[in-house]
């Protein structure tokens, strides 16, 4: 079963941009939880969430971890971006993120009618690098410090070759994940075992 595209993601870092709808963290988690709960009620006992937005990179693993808080009769899996490998066409840009070379190449494949390469150089997508913190020290303002206009890279360098390669890699990645999840009997079994033990922790062997 392929569920309709789910677009209620984490986007607090874009609240300064016109048109941004940034739902509260509580609502995001509740809505996603109730969605997967209802999918389970309708017979989906293994749910794969395919993440296509960097803003969800921390939210979705937390959501998956939070599934252990309460007994459930289904398993949530989170699928992130694929590793493209050495055969990928080389990038021409050093900075490549939001609306940059890769993402614009992807859109050349999925919705070429929305791509206007001639406009891509009208503003800068350079990393402003306004924070000077250790690499392993995280703060939520990091993205705004780097790319306050949400343009990260140079979309004018996009090519159909790169977009086609990446989209095929994504497709293969999703197909492999579906095969792995369909054959996964261990996660459901271990989750049932975990919930049984979690319900009576004092009986857990030490």
The model's pLDDT over 129-156, given as tens digits with 9 standing for 90+, comes to 999 999 999 999 999 999 999 999 999 9
Q: What is the pLDDT of residue 106?
A: 97
Half-sphere exposure of 23 (CA within 13 A, CB side): 13
Q: What is the pLDDT of residue 134?
A: 97
Residue 205 has pLDDT above 90, yes or no: no
In 80-205 the beta strands, taken as DSSP E runs, fall at: none
Q: What is the pLDDT of residue 206?
A: 87
Q: What is the pLDDT of residue 15?
A: 96
Q: What is the pLDDT of residue 63?
A: 98
Q: Which residues contact 181 (CB under 8 A, 6 or more apart)?
A: 46, 48, 77
What's the 3-state SS for 122-151? Answer: CCCCCCCCCCCCCCCCCCCCHHHHHCCCCC
Mean pLDDT of the chain: 96
To the nearest 10 degrees (0 to 180), the angle between helices 25-41 and 59-66 is 50
Residue 202 has pLDDT above 90, yes or no: yes
- Mean pLDDT score, 75-93: 95
Tokens of 80: 């992130």
């Amino acid at each position: 079963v392929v569920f309709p595209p789910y677009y209620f993601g984490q986007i607090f870092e874009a609240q300064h941009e016109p048109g941004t709808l940034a739902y509260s963290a509580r609502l995001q988690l509740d809505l996603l939880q109730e969605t997967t709960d209802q999918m389970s009620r309708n017979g989906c006992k293994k749910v794969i969430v395919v993440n296509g937005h960097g803003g969800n990179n921390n939210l979705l693993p937390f959501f998956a971890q939070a599934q252990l808080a309460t007994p459930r009769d289904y398993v949530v899996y989170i699928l992130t971006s694929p590793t493209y490998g050495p055969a990928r066409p080389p990038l021409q840009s050093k900075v490549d993120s939001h609306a940059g070379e890769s993402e614009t190449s992807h859109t050349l494949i999925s919705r070429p009618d929305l791509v206007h390469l001639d406009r891509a150089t009208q503003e800068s997508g350079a990393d402003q690098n306004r924070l000077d913190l250790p690499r392993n020290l995280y703060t939520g303002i990091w993205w705004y410090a780097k790319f306050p206009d949400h343009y990260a890279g140079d979309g004018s360098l996009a090519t159909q070759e790169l977009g086609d390669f990446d989209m095929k890699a994504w497709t293969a990645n999703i197909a492999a994940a579906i095969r792995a999840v369909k054959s996964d009997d261990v996660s459901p079994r271990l989750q049932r075992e975990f919930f049984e033990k979690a319900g009576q922790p004092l009986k857990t062997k030490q």
